[in-house]
Amino acid sequence: MAKRRKFTPQFKVQVVLELLKGESSPAELCRRYNLGSDQLSKWRKQFLERASQIFSNENTCQEHLERISYLEQLVGRLTLELEISKKTWSSFTLSPNNKGNW
């Protein structure tokens, strides 16, 4: 059974850009790179569908940074609450010297 070939993202972009520029026909690209026409069509479709994400990356990055900041603050609060709970609990635990005495 033949192994499936894996292509790097850079290679896929290179081939799709050649296709979109019109430097070579789809048939030429398929022959040159030993690709199936379905594969080339799939890459082209994915490229065009995701192209808009390139320009919206700035907003997405800011949203991620805000989310990270919120989660870091939440971790800080929970850590503080845990430490307070541990100290409170340790003051209520029975020590050998005061068994039965609260």
Q: Note the pLDDT tens digit of each residue in 53-94.
A: 777 766 677 888 899 999 999 999 999 999 999 988 888 775
- Residue 90 Cα to chain centre, angstroms: 41
Question: In the chain, what are the domain boundaries?
Answer: 8-51
pTM: 0.53
Indicate the average pLDDT of the chain. 87
Total Cβ atoms within 10 A of residue 19: 20
Q: Is the pLDDT of residue 98 over 70?
A: no
**Two tokens, residue 61:** 């990055």
What local confidence, expressed as pLDDT, does residue 94 receive? 59
Q: Is 20 left (phi over 0), alpha (psi -120 to 50) or beta?
A: alpha
**Two tokens, residue 43:** 């890459």
Q: To 10 degrees, the CA torsion angle through 23, 13, 48, 51?
A: -120
Could you tell me the pLDDT band of residue 27, with boundaries at 50, 70 and 90? very high
